[in-house]
Amino acid sequence: MDENNRNEILEKLQEKGANKPCPRCGNLSFAIVDGYFNHPIQEELTGLVLAEQSLPTAITICKNCGFLSQHALGALGLIEEEIKGGVNNEYE
Number of domains in the chain: 1
CATH number of the structural domain spanning residue 22: 2.20.25
In a domain, residue 85? The reply is no
In a domain, residue 8? The reply is yes
pTM of the model: 0.78
Question: Tens-digit pLDDT profile for the chain (92 aa)?
Answer: 999 999 999 999 999 999 999 999 999 999 999 999 998 888 888 877 776 788 999 999 999 999 999 999 999 999 975 454 555 454 34
In a domain, residue 7? The reply is yes
Q: Which domain holds residue 25?
A: 3-43+51-80
In a domain, residue 90? The reply is no
User: What number of residues does the chain have?
Assistant: 92
Name the DSSP letter for residue 31.
E
